Structures are given as C-alpha cells and as structure tokens.
Amino acid sequence: MPSQHRVLVLAGGISHERDVSLRSGRRVADSLAEHGISVELRDPDASLLGYLRASRPDVVWPALHGASGEDGALRGLLDIMGIPFVGAKADAARLAWDKPTAKTIAARAGVATPRSITLPRDAFRELGAGSILEQIYDELPGSVVVKPAHGGSAQGVTIVDDRADLPRAMVDAYTYCDVALIEQKIAGTEITIGIIDSGDGPVALPAVEIEPLSGVYSFEARYNAGETRFYVPARISEDIASRAAEAALTVHSALGLRHLSRVDIIVDGAGTPWFLEANVLPGLTETSLLPQALEAAGHDLGWVYSALASAAITEARA
C-alpha cells in the first residue's frame, strides 16, 4: 500500500465491547504505522460524518466491535459517502450480525449447525415463560447454550447443563439483546478459522483450537492472558482441518463477506464441523484469534492489514 494513502482506523464506540475495540484499533493502527502507512486512530462520535466529509480519508478501517461497527449501519453510511472501507458491505454485515439468520444461511449452504430456538423477549413474556421453557426442554434435550442473537465476545452467553439454570441464562442474554438464541450444545473441539481475502479470493488460515482453563470461553478467558490455551494449528487431523476450512469458506461466501472474517466451529467426535457463528470484525487484540492464525501462517500483521486496505481502495475504484 502506498505510504501516501491515509488510513482512518475507527475504534471505541459505545457498545458493550468498547474496551476490546480500542485494543483492536490500536493494534491495527500500530501495525500499519510500522509499515510507514499514514494512519489516524479516531473514536467515533457525533462529529464523525462531518469529519469524514471534510478530511476524505483514502480508506476507513472499522475496528468497532458490537453494533456500532458490525450491524451494517456505519458501513452503509461509508458506502453512500463513497469512502472505501475494510470489511463486509452493509448487507452482508447485517446477515452475519444476526446469529439466527447466519445459521439459516449456513444450513441452506449445506453446513451443519446445531438445532436451536430463537426467542424475542416480548414473545417470552406474552406466551408464558414457564410454558416456553418446558417446550425448550422437550425440543432441545441435554445441555444448551443461551446467547444474545446479536453481539460478540461471549457477553451474555451461558452454557446450561442444569435445567434449573435456564431462566437465569435467558435473563442474562436479554440483558444484551432483545432476542435470545437457545442452541443445543455440541460436545467436541472448539476451533475458529480466519478468512483473509486481499483481492485473489478468500483463503482459510490455520485453525486455532481453543482450550479455556475454566472450561468456558468467557469474556475473561478471551481477553485476559493466561486464561486460555491456544493451539495453532489445531490438534485435529489434516482431513478434519480441511473439512472445517471448507465449511468456513462456504459460510464466508454464502453470507457475502469480504476481506476478513472469522468463523467459529465445534468439531464433534465424528469429525463433523458444526457452524456456530461468523464474525464480520474479528478481534485483533494481542490475545485475539485471527492475529494468532496470521502469525502461524507466516504472515506479517502490518503487511496483511495494509493489503486489505489496498484491496478496499481498489474495489471502490473498479
């Protein structure tokens, strides 16, 4: 990427993932600056659109986790302003941001995904919480995972092994989103696969295996060093790794994502990869998974981030 190009990294925002976003944005900005790229780091506020109109950066890198950066709204605004940006377009971001929708699209593309039930808060109240919980017990026997339909970093996510804990898990999920996703828990190896495309087509990075010491890959386990063991590449056979990578690439393409994404998967005892969710903007902090996969593949972070910014500029001019 020519050094005279100006990159604006947006980080922070007002979502529950603000602190993680600030860490991701700083890492991206530092990596670009180390390669001689002119980069500015900005926390978006009410003055952002006016600033964009006045300064016209060559490309924007949205390092905004949560709704402010991943639900498609900001991306749509950048699009109509004619400002290139890294990552998924608005329509694709909206599809991936909504976990039930992403699961439906993945299933239609032939990728296995756990059985689930989606419940808006209003329906949970109006139809009777007790009756609904009984129906969930019948339809999804065994352990379940309750999570907000939108959001990341495992906030509001609960693994429920005891039925008595399900009501509390629903309350926790509704704290972060008005829609909860209740998903049958798949026992197996938790992996994630990063996807990178700087213009030559999407490429799957080495799978990262996740082994949280507490047994649960919680918010704390994600962002506090030493609380999770990571294995890159994952401790799975080449055949299973290839199948998981194929599933991740299928989901990336089916959702219409571009430049970068991360697909979270559980591999069961039979070697079947089960799609959990797709991340439009993977974490890019010092403990995040996509940077680990890039480094394991022998890539320099600054070079990759620069190449993605260049791809965004080239596509906008095409």
pLDDT value for 225: 64
Which CATH superfamily hosts domain 116-184? ATP-grasp fold, A domain (3.30.1490.20)
Query: pLDDT by residue (tens digit) across 103-145?
Result: 999 999 999 999 999 999 988 887 777 888 888 888 898 899 9
pLDDT value for 214: 67
Res 13 pLDDT > 70: yes
Q: How far is CA 107 from the centre of its chain?
A: 18
Query: pLDDT by residue (tens digit) across 226-264?
Result: 678 899 999 999 999 999 999 999 999 999 999 999 999
- Please tell me the CATH code under which domain 95-112+187-317 is placed: 3.30.470.20
Residue 141: CB atoms within 10 A of its CB come to 10
Q: How far apart are CA 112 and CA 125, in angstroms?
A: 31
Q: For the chain, where are the alpha helices, taking DSSP H only?
A: 18-34, 48-55, 67-70, 73-81, 90-97, 99-108, 121-126, 129-139, 166-176, 219-223, 238-255, 289-296, 301-317
Query: pLDDT by residue (tens digit) across 262-316?
Result: 999 999 999 999 999 999 999 898 888 999 999 999 999 999 999 999 999 999 9
Q: Tell me the domain boundaries of the chain.
A: 6-86, 95-112+187-317, 116-184
User: Which helix (H) or strand (E) covers residue 39, if one does?
Assistant: strand 38-42
pLDDT grade for 86, boundaries at 50, 70 and 90: very high
| Pairwise pLDDT comparison (13 vs 265), residue with the higher score | 265
Across the chain, what does the average pLDDT equal? 91
| Pairwise pLDDT comparison (84 vs 123), residue with the higher score | 84
- Please tell me the CATH code under which domain 6-86 is placed: 3.40.50.20
| Pairwise pLDDT comparison (152 vs 306), residue with the higher score | 306
Q: How far apart are CA 219 and CA 188, in angstroms?
A: 20
pLDDT value for 3: 61
